[in-house]
Structure 1
Amino acid sequence: MPIVLALVLIAVGSVLFHFLSPWWWTPIASNWGYIDTTLIITFWITGTVFVAVVLFTAYCVYRFRHGTAERPHYEPENKKLEWTLTIATAVGVVAMLAPGLFVWRQFVTVPDEATDVEIVGQQWGWSFRLPGGDGRLGTSDIRHITAENPLGLNPNDARAKDDVVIASDDLHLMIGKPVKVLLRSTDVLHNFYVPEFRGKMDMVPGSVTYFWLTPTRTGTFDILCAELCGVGHPQMRGAVVVEDKASYEAWLGKQQTFAEATQRLKTTKTDSTPDGSSARN
């Protein structure tokens, strides 16, 4: 009897925890309502099966407990039961997978008005690139990566010269503005993950992955790496700041373009000797 009661408490407690858990009412910072809907569908299907199996186990423990007069019935095959379980399982799996296909289509179908934002992962930090006045990102290649050009932007591409490169600061986004998030890695496999955005994506060396989002709540949100990438993986942190248009434009106006940063480095090298003193002196 204690085992039966324990099983019933597990089933009832799991249902109550799901409905009373604080995360259920946590506001989301982006527009992924359809992802939450998919999760809820999955919870209902898997939760129903879980409760049914646990309660059936409790019934069997009680009904066929030791000391009853019941004799076991030998039935090695039951085609009706096998077909019922097979069909029910297939329907449940399809019900969980089908919404995911629609969600994935929305996840990668970028609206025309979205602005490109590039996020680059490397052991063990994040760098960002925003389009300049031309509204387009220039090309890049790992062969161009140097200490002065950590993102590998093509110095011969005119479109790259006005790109805004952010190597040691937070990424800022404008609230209500769709963005296409372009993801690439310069060394090993990483994964860009902002929990509040309800979106994450692998960053595969040698390729560019992407998804899109529309920030719908201002605030500062943590960037995590969700793929084990070496000993510094736990410290690979960053932040996304979602703010209003005026604050975003004020921040963007303070950032340097790739051409400005390159020219500044050249000037610094020209004006300094190897020991750090001024060459003009």
Structure 2
Amino acid sequence: MAVALVLVLIAVGSVIFHLVSPWWWTPIASNWRYIDDTIIITFWITGAVFVAVVLFMAYCVYRFRHRAGQQAHYEPENKRLEWWLTLVTAVGVAAMLTPGLFVWRQFITVPEDATDIEVVGQQWQWSFRLPGPDGKLATSDARLISPDNPLGINKDDPKSQDDVVIEGGELHLPVGKPVKALLRSIDVIHDFYVPELRAKMDLVPGQVSYIWFTPTRTGSFDILCAELCGVGHPQMRGTLVIQEQKDYQAWLQHQAARSFARLSPASGGPD
């Protein structure tokens, strides 16, 4: 009886703890509320199964407890029970997977009006590249990386000259505008993570991954590396500043000194 009571208290206590818990996600600041909704659906399904299993265990412990003169019933299999368990399990798994498939489709389908930016990870800082007045981002290549061209920007691309290069500084973006972040690493695996945006994606050396999002509120947010990348991993942090459109444009105009043409040698590009 004591064991059964403890199991019931575990099930009930888990539900109460969830309902009154002060710990929850950080307030969302992007369009990816779908991710939160999917996690919540998964949580409630797995939570209901957890409570059902624990209460069933409590029932079994009490119902089939040892009693003098009672002999256990031998039942090696039960086809009806097996079919029910298979069906219920299949429905539960489908209920958890289906919302995720819809969200994943949205996650990889970038809006046509999204602005391309570049995020580069290296031990142990974040660097960023934004399109200049032409609104277009130039191509880049890891083989072009040099002390004068740390992001490997293609100097022969005519769109490169006004690209804004930010090494270890703040990434500014306008609110309400979709952004496609092209993610590159020049050494080891890193992971671009902004908790409030629900944006998280690996940066893998030798390839360009991407993630897109639409900031929905202004403010400053931490950019974290969510992949262990060496002894300086805890210090690999950046800042994302979301601004109103007019404030962002004013900031962008002041970044002329950070254009690739200004940062490159007088010859017009890296050697």
Instruction: Give TM class, smaller chain.
Output: over 0.9
- Quote the offset at 1:19 in angstroms: 2.3
1:119-138 matches, cutoff 5 A? 119-138=119-138
Pick closer, same or farther for the CA change 1:27–1:237 going to 2, 3 Å.
same
1:1-281 matches, cutoff 5 A? 1-24=1-24, 26-67=26-67, 69-255=69-255, 256-263=258-265
Whether the aligned pair in 1 keeps the contact of 2:26 and 2:195 (CA below 8 Å) is: no
* 3-state SS of paired residue (1:172): strand
Whether the aligned pair in 2 keeps the contact of 1:110 and 1:212 (CA below 8 Å) is: yes
The one-letter code matched in structure 2 to 1:258 is: F
- Quote the offset at 1:87 in angstroms: 1.6
Alignment root-mean-square deviation, CA:
1.8
Looking at structure 2, the residues matched to 123 and 150 of structure 1 have their Cα atoms a distance apart, in angstroms, of 13
Whether the aligned pair in 2 keeps the contact of 1:129 and 1:165 (CA below 8 Å) is: yes
Identity %: 69
Pick closer, same or farther for the CA change 1:202–1:25 going to 2, 3 Å.
closer
Pick closer, same or farther for the CA change 1:13–1:160 going to 2, 3 Å.
same
- Quote the offset at 1:146 in angstroms: 1.1
The one-letter code matched in structure 2 to 1:109 is: T
Looking at structure 1, the residues matched to 41 and 186 of structure 2 have their Cα atoms a distance apart, in angstroms, of 37
TM-score, length basis structure 2: 0.92
Looking at structure 2, the residues matched to 193 and 227 of structure 1 have their Cα atoms a distance apart, in angstroms, of 9
- Quote the offset at 1:186 in angstroms: 0.9
Looking at structure 1, the residues matched to 226 and 26 of structure 2 have their Cα atoms a distance apart, in angstroms, of 21
Looking at structure 2, the residues matched to 11 and 19 of structure 1 have their Cα atoms a distance apart, in angstroms, of 13
Whether the aligned pair in 1 keeps the contact of 2:141 and 2:154 (CA below 8 Å) is: yes
Post-superposition Cα deviations, 1:26-58, rounded to whole Å, max 9, x if no partner, equal 531111121111111101110110000111111
Q: Which runs of 5 or more residues in structure 2 are unaligned?
A: none
* 3-state SS of paired residue (2:89): helix
Looking at structure 2, the residues matched to 262 and 161 of structure 1 have their Cα atoms a distance apart, in angstroms, of 9
Looking at structure 2, the residues matched to 244 and 36 of structure 1 have their Cα atoms a distance apart, in angstroms, of 25
* 3-state SS of paired residue (2:264): helix
Using the TM superposition, name which of 1-10 and 72-81 deviates more.
1-10
The one-letter code matched in structure 1 to 2:177 is: K
Looking at structure 2, the residues matched to 173 and 13 of structure 1 have their Cα atoms a distance apart, in angstroms, of 44
- Quote the offset at 1:25 in angstroms: 7.7
Whether the aligned pair in 2 keeps the contact of 1:178 and 1:212 (CA below 8 Å) is: yes
Pick closer, same or farther for the CA change 1:176–1:14 going to 2, 3 Å.
same
The number of equivalent residue pairs is 266
Looking at structure 2, the residues matched to 128 and 67 of structure 1 have their Cα atoms a distance apart, in angstroms, of 71
* 3-state SS of paired residue (1:234): helix
Whether the aligned pair in 2 keeps the contact of 1:148 and 1:265 (CA below 8 Å) is: no
Quote the residue 1:271 is aligned against: none
* 3-state SS of paired residue (2:191): strand
The one-letter code matched in structure 2 to 1:262 is: S
